[in-house]
C-alpha cells in the first residue's frame, strides 16, 4: 500500500529536497505532496485527507488537522513555536531513510490492523523438512537467489525459532520481533511496520528481516498471527520464500495450506531418509499437499525410493562460506 504523505514547510528548498528524496527512495510506500504556506495547507486539508503529514510548527497555528491521520511536527532545537502536546514530533534533520522508517513505523502503530490487505499477491514457496540440518535454509536462499537473478522481487522470511539469517545477511537493523508484538496485540498495521524495517541485501537483491530478539518471540505467534504475517509479506513482493521450522504443528499446516509450492528437503543421512519416508507415507498432511510439493535431494542425496511427483537433486558443495554454498546451488533451482 502507498501512504499519502504531505510535507508542509515554509522552507522551500528543504521541502523540495525532502520530497524528491522520499519519492525516489520509497516510491513503493510513499506518495508525497508539498505545500509551503499556511493558506495552501488549509486549502489542501479542505479538499482531501492525508494518511500522514510532516508539518512545520510555524504553519499549523489555528489550522484544522483533523483531515490528517498521523500529523507529525518537523522538530529541531531552533524551533521556537509552541505546538500542542498531543502532536508527535519527528527530527527534521536526520537521514531520509531513517525519517521514512520512523514515519512508516508511527503510521503502522496508529493504523487499524488489516489482515487481508493485498493478501496473496506473491507466489509463496514454503521450504520444510521433518528433520533439521539437511540444508533447508540453504535451499530456501538458493531459490531466493535464483528468483532474484530472474528479475523477481524476492522476500525471504525465516520462521525458525533460532534464526540463522545473520549468517547470510547484515544483521544491523530493527528486529522482526516488533512485528510479532503488533500481531499478538492485534493493534496497528503490521504491513506498514514491516515496510519500515525491511532490509535488502544489495549483492543478491533479496529482501529480509533481521532476526527475532530471542527464541520466545517466535513462539508467541498463533496460527492466525502466522496467516496475517504471510498475508502482509505477500503484499510486499512478487516471490515470498518461507524458511520453516522442522516441527509439524498447526502453524506448519497453515503455512502448507497457504503456500503455492512446498519444497521438502532431505539429505543422505539415514535419519533424514527415515523421517521423510514416514512423513510421506504415514502422515495425512502429505496427502493434502502432494500435488504442490517437490522433493529436494540435497547434498548429493539419493531419495528415489520416496514417492515424489517431482524431484530436484542438488550436489554437495563444500565451502566454509555459507553464502557461497547457496549461491552455487541457485543454478540448480527453478
Mean pLDDT to the nearest integer, 227-247: 93
**Helix, strand or coil for residue 199?**
strand
* Confidence at residue 302, expressed as pLDDT on a 0 to 100 scale: 82
What is the rounded CA–CA span in Å between residue 292 and residue 310? 9
The model's confidence at residue 304, banded by pLDDT at 50, 70 and 90, is low
The model's confidence at residue 306, banded by pLDDT at 50, 70 and 90, is low
Q: What is the separation of C-alpha 227 from the centre of its chain, rounded to a whole number of angstroms? A: 14
* Percent of the chain topping pLDDT 70: 95
The model's confidence at residue 130, banded by pLDDT at 50, 70 and 90, is very high
Lowest pLDDT segment from 9-18, 158-167, 175-184, 278-287 = 278-287
Is 90 buried (19+), middle (13-18) or exposed (0-12) by CB count in 10 A?
middle
* Confidence at residue 11, expressed as pLDDT on a 0 to 100 scale: 92
Q: How far lies 206's CA from each of 110, 119, 203, 233, in Å?
A: 29, 20, 8, 13
Mean per-residue pLDDT over the chain, rounded:
89
**84, pLDDT greater than 80:** yes
The model's confidence at residue 112, banded by pLDDT at 50, 70 and 90, is low
Q: Give the residue with greater pLDDT, 112 vs 56.
A: 56
Q: How far lies 225's CA from each of 6, 22, 140, in Å?
A: 32, 31, 22
* Confidence at residue 177, expressed as pLDDT on a 0 to 100 scale: 93
**54, pLDDT greater than 60:** yes
Alpha-carbon torsion angle 8, 12, 18, 21, nearest 10: 130
**299, pLDDT greater than 80:** yes
Sorted by where each starts, the structural domains of the chain and their CATH numbers stand as: 3-110 (3.40.50.10850), 123-332 (3.40.50.300)
Of the candidates 257, 177, 187, the residue with the CA atom closest to the CA atom of residue 223: 257
**334, pLDDT greater than 90:** no
**55, pLDDT greater than 50:** yes
The model's confidence at residue 161, banded by pLDDT at 50, 70 and 90, is confident
Q: What angle do CA 135, 139, 142 make, to 5 degrees?
A: 135
Mean pLDDT to the nearest integer, 248-277: 93
Q: Are 264 and 292 in contact (CB under 8 A)?
A: no
Q: Give the residue with greater pLDDT, 214 vs 283.
A: 214
* Confidence at residue 115, expressed as pLDDT on a 0 to 100 scale: 40
Amino acid at each position: 500500500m502507498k501512504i499519502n504523505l504531505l510535507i508542509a514547510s515554509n522552507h522551500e528548498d528543504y521541502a523540495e529536497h525532502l520530497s524528491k528524496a522520499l519519492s525516489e527512495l520509497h516510491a513503493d510506500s510513499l506518495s508525497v505532496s508539498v505545500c509551503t504556506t499556511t493558506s495552501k495547507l488549509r486549502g489542501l486539508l479542505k479538499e482531501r485527507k492525508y494518511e500522514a503529514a510532516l508539518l512545520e510548527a510555524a504553519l499549523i497555528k489555528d489550522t484544522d488537522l483533523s483531515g490528517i491521520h498521523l500529523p507529525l511536527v518537523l522538530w529541531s532545537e531552533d524551533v521556537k513555536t509552541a505546538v500542542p502536546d498531543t502532536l508527535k514530533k519527528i527530527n527534521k534533520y536526520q537521514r531520509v531513510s531513517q525519517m521514512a522508517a520512523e514515519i512508516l513505523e508511527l503510521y503502522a502503530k496508529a493504523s487499524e490492523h488489516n489482515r487481508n490487505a493485498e493478501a496473496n499477491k506473491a507466489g509463496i514457496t514454503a521450504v520444510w523438512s521433518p528433520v533439521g540440518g539437511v540444508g533447508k535454509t540453504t535451499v530456501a536462499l538458493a531459490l531466493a537467489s535464483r528468483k532474484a537473478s530472474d528479475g523477481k522481487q524476492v522476500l525471504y522470511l525465516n520462521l525458525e525459532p533460532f534464526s540463522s539469517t545473520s549468517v547470510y545477511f547484515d544483521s544491523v537493523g530493527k528486529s522482526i520481533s516488533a512485528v510479532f508484538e503488533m500481531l499478538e496485540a492485534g493493534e496497528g498495521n503490521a504491513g506498514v511496520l514491516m515496510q519500515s524495517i525491511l532490509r535488502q541485501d544489495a549483492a543478491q537483491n533479496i529482501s529480509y528481516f533481521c532476526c527475532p530478539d530471542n527464541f520466545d518471540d517466535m513462539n508467541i505467534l498463533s496460527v492466525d498471527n502466522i496467516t496475517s504475517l504471510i498475508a502482509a509479506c505477500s503484499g510486499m513482493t512478487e516471490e515470498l520464500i518461507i524458511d520453516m521450522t522442522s516441527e509439524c504443528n498447526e502453524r506448519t499446516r497453515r503455512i502448507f495450506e497457504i503456500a503455492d509450492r512446498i519444497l521438502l528437503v532431505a539429505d543422505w543421512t539415514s535419519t533424514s531418509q527415515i523421517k521423510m519416508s514416514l512423513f510421506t507415507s504415514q502422515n495425512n498432511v502429505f496427502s493434502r499437499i502432494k500435488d504442490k510439493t517437490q522433493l529436494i535431494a540435497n547434498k548429493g542425496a539419493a531419495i528415489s525410493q520416496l514417492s515424489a511427483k517431482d524431484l530436484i537433486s542438488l550436489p554437495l558443495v563444500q565451502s566454509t562460506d555459507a553464502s557461497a554454498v547457496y549461491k552455487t546451488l541457485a543454478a540448480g533451482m527453478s
